[in-house]
Amino acid sequence: MLLTKPYRNRKIVKDLTAALHEAAQGLAQQKIMHVCGTHEHEIGRYALRQLLPDNVKLIAGPGCPVCITPASKIVTAIELATNTDNPILCTYGDMVRVPTASGSILDSRGNGADIRIVYGIGEAVKQALENPNRHIIFFSVGFETTAAPVAAVIKAGLPENFLIYCCHRYVPTAVEKLTEVDDGNISGFLLPGHASVITGTKPYEFLPKRFNRAAALTGFEPVDILAGLLSIVRQIRQGKPKVANCYKRAVRDTGNEKAQAILSEVFDLVDASWRGIGILQWVHI
């Protein structure tokens, strides 16, 4: 049996939907923001917005790692790929078609660039081992989820011909900035499951403590998402905001402490641009 099957159970989805409608009854309009590209994909895939009460609106925040990578970083990757040293540029498939004023990474193939699509840093390192006479540049993007394995590989040691162009971003900083500039329109946040496997719930405690915002950390199946929304709406109704962990099968409240330690050892958090928001403090991993 698929491990995800219980989290797609129609009866549970129906029961959660009914509970959500009951919890939202009589409330003013509530806007809940998610900040995860996978959440948006699954919400659309299962048409979950159609199940929500009329007074609960789920909006997409800037949480797709491809979408938030500044165009200038992609242009730099193109410049690196077309270097006269004839390097091999490795990156994720989602990155190669992102348009810029200088074209896309995929377009650079027409200028002689050697572009290889990989699923992670391990495959990029393999390219370096198989091509010892060429430089391999890994254009590494994403959030804590992808930064952690990159940090682990760096700590273990890299081939001499392997370079990393690092453009990782730290999600809690962006959520904090969004909340700071919000004028009260956002009632709560549906927090990302993948990145929180690394961080846990603690980095988001500012939401209830400083901003009186409800929050729930969830997985990606229909039951996960609806359970998270139900938690947020109940927090709003009760006037008791918190950071609820609704993804305990994958996320500990403390996160992955070993991964956190490796990230802290290898990387620093510095100021950088988050496309769609601007320059943020302590956001670039």
Query: What percentage of the chain reaches a pLDDT higher than 70?
Result: 99
1: pLDDT strictly greater than 60: no
Tens of pLDDT, residues 225-265: 999 999 999 999 999 999 999 999 999 999 999 999 999 99
Q: What pLDDT was estimated at residue 3?
A: 65
- State pTM to two decimals: 0.92
Tens of pLDDT, residues 126-185: 999 999 999 999 999 999 999 999 999 999 999 999 999 999 999 999 999 999 999 889
Q: HEC profile for the chain? A: CCCCHHHHCHHHHHHHHHHHHHHHCCCCCEEEEECCHHHHHHHHHCCHHHHCCCCEEEEECCCCCCCCCCHHHHHHHHHHHCCCCCCEEEECHHHCCCCCCCCCCCHHHHHCCEEEECCCHHHHHHHHHHCCCCCEEEEEEECHHHHHHHHHHHHHCCCCCEEEEEEEECHHHHHHHHHHHCCCCEEEEEECHHHHHHHCCHHHCHHHHHHCCEEEECCCCHHHHHHHHHHHHHHHHHCCCCEEECCCCCCCCCCCHHHHHHHHHHCCCEEEEECCCEEEEEEEC
Q: What pLDDT was estimated at residue 262?
A: 96
On average, the pLDDT of the chain sits at 94
Instruction: For the chain, list the domains and their CATH numbers.
Output: 5-64+171-252 (3.40.50.11750), 71-168 (3.40.50.11740)
